[in-house]
Amino acid sequence: MSRAGALTCWLLMLSCHVALAHPAYEGATGFCGGLLHPLLVPAHALAVSGAGLLVGLQPARRRLPAVAAFAAALALGFGAMMLAFAPQTAGLVLLAATVLCGALAALARPVPVVPGGALALVAGAALALDSPPSGISVAVANITLLGTFCGALVLLAAVAGLTAKLAHGWRRLGVRILGSWIAAVALMALAARLAR
The domains of the chain are located at 3-195
Specify burial of residue 19 (Cβ count, 10 A radius: 0-12, 13-18, 19+): exposed
Give the gyration radius of the chain's Cα atoms. 19
Alpha carbon 176 to chain centroid, angstroms: 19
**Which pLDDT tens digit goes with each residue over 74-94?**
999 998 888 877 788 999 999
53/31 Cα distance (integer angstroms): 26
**Which pLDDT tens digit goes with each residue over 12-59?**
554 544 444 444 556 667 888 889 999 999 999 999 999 999 999 999
Look up residue 101 and give its amino acid: C
111/101 Cα distance (integer angstroms): 10
Quote the pLDDT of residue 3.
Answer: 73
Exposed e or buried b per residue across 71-84, where buried means at least 16 C-beta atoms within 10 angstroms of its C-beta = bebbbebbeebeee
Quote the pLDDT of residue 71.
Answer: 96
Quote the pLDDT of residue 50.
Answer: 95
- Give 96's pLDDT tier (boundaries 50, 70, 90): very high
Quote the pLDDT of residue 165.
Answer: 92
- Give 69's pLDDT tier (boundaries 50, 70, 90): very high
CB 129, CB 87: distance < 8 Å? yes
